[in-house]
Amino acid sequence: MSKEVVNKKKQFELKIEDLAIKFFAINKNDESLSSKRKTLKNKLWVLMIEYYKLVYRFFIVEENKNYYENIDIITDTSLTCLENYNSELEIAFLHYSNSAVKKELKYQKLKNSREVSDIMKDENGKEISTFDLIESKLHNPIIDFELKESRERAMELLEIIDKCFLNKQERVKKYLSALLTHKLFDAISILENYNNNIDFQFISSKLYQELNAINKPQAFPKQQDIAKRFGKDKTDASRALKKFFIDVEKSVNFMA
């Protein structure tokens, strides 16, 4: 990152924090201040979009086929942060927003790259993804799931996966553990923010810590990268995961 970009980034951050303090200081229940609040909100939102375009300049480029999709994610998440941020929290607004945007981009990247093995069927035969079962309205570590039942159901699914993992032969566990940790990373990461007892045997602690430390979405490894560490290829990894989830479906009714 060039010195010019770093300085521009700092200028954006100062402006956003300054405007955020003014915006959130306005009582949103005071109708006489609604016009002023709306004006500040629009200015703040525009600043945030320009800031994130700068921050993610290597990830979000015009030539990228996912350009518009990524911009939409950032735009929507930024707006949601403006609506949900609590100024009484002991956390700076931009830090709160950065956490939300980073989480959402990583979540969508993983969700959009999921394979058939992630899909289960409910009691009506309707297909549903394990990712959707742990989804919150905003994939942000600070904002809680709106439905407690969603979290509980997600935990049940991970418990089932863990039991099936324990029944596998020792010689395949290390490889399978890495694949599952990578595949279900976002689900585990989101749930971990609500429950300190996320301690499943299928999770590779070392790999999870490695993935959790990644700050740039484009640096997040692909499934084939994980497979390569074990001398395997993408096809083998896909086959191993598909077989595992088929075994899980055979052993228990996921949606019972």
Highest-scoring range by mean pLDDT, 85-89, 97-101, 176-180: 176-180
pLDDT of amino acid 136: 38
Total number of domains constituting the chain = 2
19 — pLDDT class (breaks 50, 70, 90): very high
**Sequence-ordered strand ranges (E) for 46-202:** 119-121, 127-129
User: If you average pLDDT over residues 59-83, what whole number do you get?
Assistant: 69
Do 245 and 130 lie in one domain? The reply is yes
Residue 165 maps to a domain: yes
If you ran DSSP here, which 8-state letter would residue 221 be given?
A: P
Do 142 and 246 lie in one domain? The reply is yes
Residue 98 maps to a domain: no
User: If you average pLDDT over residues 214-220, what whole number do you get?
Assistant: 74
Domain's final residue, options 85, 104, 135: 85
User: If you average pLDDT over residues 5-32, what whole number do you get?
Assistant: 88
Q: Which pTM does this prediction carry?
A: 0.48
Model pLDDT for residues 118-146, shown as the tens digit of each residue: 555 555 565 555 555 444 333 333 333 33
- Contact between 94 and 82 under an 8 Å Cβ cutoff? The reply is no
Question: For residue 115, which phi and psi values (nearest 5 degrees)?
Answer: -110, 180
Do 166 and 63 lie in one domain? The reply is no
User: If you average pLDDT over residues 10-19, what whole number do you get?
Assistant: 91
pLDDT of amino acid 193: 63
85 — pLDDT class (breaks 50, 70, 90): confident
Q: Which helix H or strand E contains 87, and what residues bound it? A: none
Do 57 and 125 lie in one domain? The reply is no
Do 55 and 127 lie in one domain? The reply is no
In this predicted structure, the answer to whether residue 255 has a pLDDT above a threshold of 50 is: no
Can you read off the two tokens belonging to residue 227? 């497979």
79 — pLDDT class (breaks 50, 70, 90): confident
Helix, strand, coil abundance in the chain, percent, nearest 5: 65, 0, 30
Domain's final residue, options 85, 106, 130: 85
Model pLDDT for residues 177-194, shown as the tens digit of each residue: 999 999 888 778 777 766
Lowest-confidence pick of 69-83, 115-129, 158-172: 115-129
Residue 109 maps to a domain: no
Residue 90 maps to a domain: no
Do 137 and 65 lie in one domain? The reply is no
Do 160 and 60 lie in one domain? The reply is no
The more confidently predicted of residues 134 and 209 is 209
Do 45 and 143 lie in one domain? The reply is no
Residue 40 maps to a domain: yes
Residue 147 maps to a domain: yes
Do 19 and 77 lie in one domain? The reply is yes
In this predicted structure, the answer to whether residue 110 has a pLDDT above a threshold of 70 is: no
Do 127 and 219 lie in one domain? The reply is yes
User: If you average pLDDT over residues 37-58, what whole number do you get?
Assistant: 85
Q: Which domain holds residue 149?
A: 116-251
DSSP string, 39-74: HHHHHHHHHHHHHHHHHTTTTS-TT-TTHHHHHHHH
Q: Angle at which helices 185-192 and 205-212 pack, to 10 degrees? A: 80
Do 36 and 123 lie in one domain? The reply is no
Residue 153 maps to a domain: yes
Residue 91 maps to a domain: no
Please report, for residues 26, 98, 101, the alpha-carbon distance to residue 77 in angstroms, rounded to integers and kept in the order given.
21, 10, 6
207 — pLDDT class (breaks 50, 70, 90): very high
pLDDT of amino acid 125: 60
Distance CA 166, CA 164 (A): 5
Q: What is the 3-state secondary structure (H, E, C) of 5-39?
A: HHHHHHHHHHHHHHHHHHHHCCCCCCHHHHHHHHH
**Sequence-ordered strand ranges (E) for 160-235:** none
Do 143 and 244 lie in one domain? The reply is yes
